[in-house]
Amino acid sequence: MGRKTLDADESLMDTSVANETLGEPSTEKDVYTDQCALVNAIASPLANRKLAKKVYKLIKKSTAEKNFLKKGMADVAKAIRKDEKGIVVLAGNVTPIDIYSHIPGYCEDKEIPYVFLPSRESLGLATGYRRSAIILLIKSHNSYKDLYDEVYEATNALYPEAKQ
């Protein structure tokens, strides 16, 4: 009837399972290729493996700074409407696509670079949460300015015809 107590061995096992599930996003060739096969129809421009690794690293660094990473549809849409500048990162495996199909248009109107990554689960892991994320806005900060500039230029280079 009372509470069940855990043995020391069981508690160690539980934490090891939790550490395995809360890993880092994978950019290994096979895993990334499998994830790219599951993206939806509007996921363009889709980041290659090298760019995805840099974006995940940028996301991880931006989580350390307060108010420099916007997460979620409402926060990102509000930031875009208020003319906040940054890089928009969208998940490519979101269904239904009507949830965020208007965001690339907003970004092009406001001249904000955007890029799709293949997995929303990996976006969530990059932010340090188990919960998946469908959209992020990364703003520039002095602590990761070089990496931010590198990713900014790479995302702009993905779709040069839209930036004429």
Per residue in 28-48, pLDDT (tens digit) is 888 999 999 999 999 999 999
> How confident is the model over 119-152, as pLDDT tens digits?
999 999 999 988 999 999 999 999 999 999 999 9
Predicted confidence band of residue 159 (pLDDT cuts 50, 70, 90): confident
In a domain, 36, yes or no: no
Residue pair 52/90 in contact by the 8 Å Cβ criterion: no
For residues 115 and 97, what is the distance between their CA atoms, to the nearest angstrom?
Answer: 15
DSSP string, 13-51: HHHHHHHHHS------HHHHHHHHTT--TT--SBP-HHH
In a domain, 19, yes or no: no
In a domain, 117, yes or no: yes
In a domain, 71, yes or no: yes
Average pLDDT, the chain: 85
Please report the pLDDT score of residue 24 as a whole number.
76
For residues 151 and 100, what is the distance between their CA atoms, to the nearest angstrom?
Answer: 22
- Tokens 């996921």 belong to 43
Predicted confidence band of residue 1 (pLDDT cuts 50, 70, 90): low
In a domain, 120, yes or no: yes
In a domain, 6, yes or no: no
Tell which residue, 133, 121, 134, has the closest CA to residue 21.
Answer: 121
**Number of domains present in the structure of the chain:** 1
CATH, residue 130: 3.30.1330.30
Please report the pLDDT score of residue 8 as a whole number.
46
Please report the pLDDT score of residue 21 as a whole number.
45
Residue pair 98/40 in contact by the 8 Å Cβ criterion: no
Please report the pLDDT score of residue 26 as a whole number.
79
In a domain, 77, yes or no: yes
* pLDDT higher than 80, residue 96: yes
In a domain, 164, yes or no: no
For residues 3 and 71, what is the distance between their CA atoms, to the nearest angstrom?
Answer: 37
* pLDDT higher than 60, residue 110: yes
* Residue span of the structural domain in which 124 resides: 41-158
> How confident is the model over 48-67, as pLDDT tens digits?
999 999 999 999 999 999 99
Please report the pLDDT score of residue 155 as a whole number.
94
At 141, which amino acid appears?
H
Beta-carbon contacts of 61 under 8 Å, excluding residues fewer than 6 positions away, are: 143, 144, 147
Rounded mean pLDDT, 95-102:
92
Please report the pLDDT score of residue 11 as a whole number.
42
